[in-house]
Structure 1
Amino acid sequence: MSEQSSWQVQRQLLHYLSDGQFYSGSWLGEQLSLSRTAIANHMQQLQQLGLDIFSVKGKGYRLASPLQLLDSSVIQQWQSDESAPVEVLSITDSTNLQLMQRLQQGEILPKGLALVAEAQTAGRGRHGRAWYSPFAASLSFSMVWQLEQGIQAAMGLSLVIGVAVAELLEHDYQLPVALKWPNDIYLQGKKLAGVLIELSGQSDGRCQLVIGIGINVQLSAAQAEQSIDQPWIDLTTVLGPLDRNRLVAGLQASCAKHLQRFEQSGFAAFQAAFNRRQLFLQQPVRLTQGQQVVRGICHGVDAQGNLVIESQGKKQLFHGGELSLRAEN
């Protein structure tokens, strides 16, 4: 069986299991014209993607909790008429990587086109770190954008996207999120989401952007503890079950709205919005760059998106690079 047809079978199995009820292997086999052994093999493959599937003798299989699959037709129902398309993948290496490869191959992608996936096998965060994204437990979202002013005009862009995510979660879900410079979204002092922006183009010419956002939706604590090395939280913990298709449409719309404003006004228009949500504002912090460590008080960001830290009576500015910001305990 080819990889594509194998996935088609597994998606159909998930369609049956999505209500969280038990289904016997023999009944599932009858629906798909497969043996019980084949059904068991497919279930094992789904478990390897991070799905929590119970197998009980005499009852069959069921998911630990009901599951909603991403669906481009459902997402479209939540979109406005002028929204760019949203493409849905089941499993991919990285949604950012997929869009970057398409751009590098010369494909012309609509401004604002978004790509989402149920699971990533090689999701990435800053500094090349892995981003944990098991099947249907997180939202792996990437969007294409273009800046006519070139790469230099993109300074502060990850902060703008952080504001876009924060305002969506505040307005649509009433969540009091915080932003950690330069690309993390926090809730209740724990990491909820991250942003990764990749650029392709000339410093003074048209620049192609791929904006990646990963949001924890419903992680399994047992599996997450093996893969995440910091305190984390997910949306389902605080909201209960939510519609990921609606979340995708809202995320695309919020990012497009904020990017359009960024093109017109630059980061200065977002400075106050970011600082208002700054996780460590007016608190002692430690900024690490390689072997260099700067300790001081965080004063938020300036009008260009530079991090401002007061250390030994002087305010210093920091931007980009391999920087890590932490609270100073």
Structure 2
Amino acid sequence: MASNMSKTSLVCQRQLLQYLADGSFYSGQWLAEQLGISRTAVANYLNELKQHGLEIFSVKGRGYKLASLIQLLDANKIKKLQTADCAQILVQHITDSTNSQLLSRLQAGQNLEPGSVIVAEAQSAGRGRRGRPWYSPFGTNLYFSCYWRLELGVPAAMGLSLAIGLAVCRLLQQHYQLPAKVKWPNDIYVNEKKIAGILVELSGQVDAACDVVIGIGLNIGMPEQSAQHIDQPYTDLRTESAQHVERNSLVVALQHQVVSVLREFSATGFTSFVPEFNQFDLYANRKVSLMAKLPISGICRGVDKQGGIIIETEKSTEVYYGGELTLRAGG
């Protein structure tokens, strides 16, 4: 019964959003009549969406209205935009985490085609690096996870998050003409503000082929309330680009860029990406602090062929690798 209720809730939420998506006011009574449910049920379904970060105005005598226009992800549109050789893109309404969804499929023994993608309108338990929560409001951003397989095992993944960062930068430059940069080891910045983050998770043995799940959270149109949930400077595509952002096209373009990079990475490792990364490095030749057990201050001198960051201090030049390290501007 619970699963039926959940499915009913999902269907009703989608139907309500299809009416509200044009940005007009609709009365609770009218919406209830269209869906064949009570006004109370309408209010409850819209309240559930509010709890997932969707901004909805409720005005007595006028009804309900979205604070800003949204474009729902559409599995059929996405499929039509893909070329015949693309792996499947699965669209979810609200999920815990797109990365978790792919990992659970792997753990259940499902055979996934490399390049397969899950996207969702919202995440209830989105994750960033080091287990930090990833704010995932409904219908405004992109929550994207892609499956891949590395035949050379876990050690072959060195530098992968940086290579994926370059895939995102390529997309932002080519499609939106944005001066995107990679902040080591896994963030994308535009004009010194974070626009995307990457979470790479591995499943497998050190000495055998391993499964890789690559999560990308890309800010498209952050709601005003986002500042209450995020403790660093951030931006989004709508703020930085004068162009209309078509989310269904964006999903397909991102899959194409990510799979292209993954194919090259599988063949060469990070080595072939080093020159490009050093062009896109947010902190290239700038003073930085590496937050470790003992903070390290120096000048960022790019990365090595395994994706380790090179920092020149007054005493020496050393290479440091990800894990628990965080990089910041200044010294």
Aligned to 1:136: 139
Aligned to 2:311: 309
Deviations 1:228-279 (A, max 9, x none): 0100001111225411111110111100001111111221110011110111
TM-score by length of 2: 0.96
Runs of at least 5 residues in structure 2 that lack an aligned partner in the other structure: none
Aligned to 2:328: 326
Aligned to 1:295: 297
* One-letter amino acid of the counterpart of residue 196, structure 1: L
Deviations 1:18-76 (A, max 9, x none): 01111111111110112222212222222111111111222211111111101111112
Runs of at least 5 residues in structure 1 that lack an aligned partner in the other structure: none
SS in 1 for 2:288: strand
Give, in whole Å, the separation in 2 of the partners of 1:33 and 1:288.
56
SS in 1 for 2:145: strand
Give, in whole Å, the separation in 2 of the partners of 1:158 and 1:38.
43
Give, in whole Å, the separation in 1 of the partners of 2:16 and 2:241.
27
Give, in whole Å, the separation in 2 of the partners of 1:137 and 1:65.
9
Aligned to 1:262: 265
SS in 1 for 2:47: helix
Give, in whole Å, the separation in 2 of the partners of 1:263 and 1:42.
45
How far 1:324 moved relative to its partner?
0.6
Q: How many residues align?
A: 327
Give, in whole Å, the separation in 2 of the partners of 1:269 and 1:12.
47
Assess if the C-alpha contact under 8 Å between 2:122 and 2:137 holds in 1: yes
TM-score by length of 1: 0.97
SS in 2 for 1:108: coil
Aligned to 1:232: 234
Identical pairs, percent? 52
Assess if the C-alpha contact under 8 Å between 2:13 and 2:49 holds in 1: yes
Runs of 4+ more than 6 Å apart? none
SS in 1 for 2:18: helix
* One-letter amino acid of the counterpart of residue 181, structure 2: A
Aligned to 1:176: 179
Counting only pairs closer than 5 Å after superposition, residues 1-329 of structure 1 correspond to structure 2 as 2-221=5-224, 223-239=225-241, 241-289=244-292, 291-328=293-330
Q: CA RMSD in A?
A: 1.1
* One-letter amino acid of the counterpart of residue 322, structure 1: E
